[in-house]
Chain A
Amino acid sequence: MPSKPSHPATTSELGRGAVIIPALNEEAVVAAVVTSIIDAVALPVWVIDDNSTDDTAHIAATAGARVIRLRSKLGAWGAVQTGLREALRADLDFVVTMDSDGQHLASDIPHLIDAMARDKADIVIGSCPERGSPLRKIAWSLMRFASGLECRDMTSGFRVLNRNAIQPLASAKASQLDFQDIGVLLILEQAGCRIAEHPVKMRSRTNGKSRIFRSWSAVIFYMMQTLLLGATKRRRRRRYLAPNPSRGDH
Chain B
Amino acid sequence: MIIAVTSAFGLLVAGLLLHLMRRDHLHVSHGVGWSVAIALSALLGFAPGIFDHLAQSLGVSYAPILGVSIAIAALLIKALISDIESTRLRVRQQRLIQRMALLEADLSELTGKKETGD
The chain A residues found within 8 Å of chain B, CB to CB, are 1, 3, 6-7, 48, 52, 55-58, 60-61, 66-72, 74, 78, 81-82, 85-86, 89, 172, 175-176
Contact = CB atoms under 8 A, between A and B. Distances in A.
B75 interface: no
Given A55-B117, A58-B115, A67 B105 contact: yes
B95 A56 contact: no
Size category of the binding interface on chain B: 20 to 34
Contacts of A60: 115
Given A175-B91, A175-B94, 4 more contacts: A61-B115, A69-B115, A71-B97, A176-B87
Interface of B: 87, 90-91, 94-95, 97-106, 109-110, 114-117
Interface of chain A: mostly helix, strand, loop or mixed: mixed
Given A58-B117, A74-B94, A175-B94, A69 B106 contact: no
A97 to B, nearest CB: 15
B89 to A, nearest CB: 12
Contact of A68 (B102, B114, B116, B117): B102
A3 B87 CA distance: 29
Pick from B99, B100, B101 the residue with the most CB of A within 10 Å: B101
B14 to A, nearest CB: 37
B103 to A, nearest CB: 7
Contacts of B102: 1, 3, 68, 82, 85-86, 89
24 contacts: A1-B103, A3-B106, A48-B101, A56-B117, A57-B116, A58-B116, A60-B115, A68-B101, A68-B105, A69-B101, A69-B115, A70-B98, A71-B101, A72-B97, A74-B94, A74-B98, A85-B98, A85-B99, A86-B102, A86-B105, A172-B91, A172-B95, A175-B91, A175-B94
